[in-house]
A = this chain, B = another copy of it.
Amino acid sequence: MRIGAIEAGGTKFICGIAETTYGQYGWEKPVIRESVSIPTTIPEITLQACLEFFSSAEPVERLGIASFGPVELDPLSPQYGFITTTPKPGWKQTDIVGFFKNALQIPVFFDTDVNGAVLSEHRWGNGRGLSDFVYITIGTGIGGGIMANGKLIHGAMHPELGHFLPQKHPQDVFAGLCPFHGACLEGLASGPAIAARWGIPGEKLPDDHQAWDMEAYYLAQASAMLAMTLATRRILLGGSVGMRPGIVEKARKILSPVLGSYLSWLDTQEAIESFLMNPLLGNQAGILGAAALTLD
Interface string of A252-296 (1 = CB under 8 A from B): 000000101111111000000000000000000000000000000
Q: Which residues of B are found within 8 Å of A96, using beta-carbon distances?
A: none
Contact B132 A262 (CB under 8 A): no
Q: How many Å lie between the Cα of A132 and that of B153 in the bound state? A: 9
Contact B164 A231 (CB under 8 A): no
Chain A residues bordering chain B, tally (CB within 8 A): 45
Q: Which residues of B are found within 8 Å of A224, using beta-carbon distances?
A: 164-165
Q: Determine which of B155, B165, B229 lies in contact with A231 in the assembled complex, contact meaning CB atoms within 8 Å.
A: B155
Q: How many Å lie between the Cα of A266 and that of B163 in the bound state? A: 14
Comparing A28-36, A50-58, A59-67, A144-152, the segment that makes contact with chain B is A144-152
Contact A260 B181 (CB under 8 A): yes
Contact B164 A153 (CB under 8 A): no
Q: Which residues of B are found within 8 Å of A153, using beta-carbon distances?
A: 132, 148-149, 230-231
Q: Determine which of B158, B261, B263 lies in contact with A157 in the assembled complex, contact meaning CB atoms within 8 Å.
A: B263
Number of copies: 2
Q: Which residue of B lies closest to A275 (CB)?
A: B156
**Any chain B CB within 8 A of the CB of A232?**
yes
Q: How many Å lie between the Cα of A155 and that of B227 in the bound state? A: 9
Q: How far is the CB of A155 from chain B (nearest CB, A)?
A: 3
Q: How many Å lie between the Cα of A163 and that of B160 in the bound state? A: 20
Q: How many Å lie between the Cα of A264 and that of B157 in the bound state? A: 9
Known: A153-B149, A153-B230, A155-B230. A261 touches B165 (CB 8 A): no
> Within A233-252, which residues are at the interface with B (CB < 8 Å)?
233
> Can you list 10 A-B pairs, Cβ within 8 angstroms, ordered by A?
A70-B264, A85-B264, A146-B229, A155-B231, A156-B232, A156-B233, A157-B265, A161-B228, A165-B221, A167-B167
The 7 closest A-B pairs by CB, nearest first: A155-B231, A180-B260, A164-B225, A132-B155, A180-B262, A165-B167, A157-B231
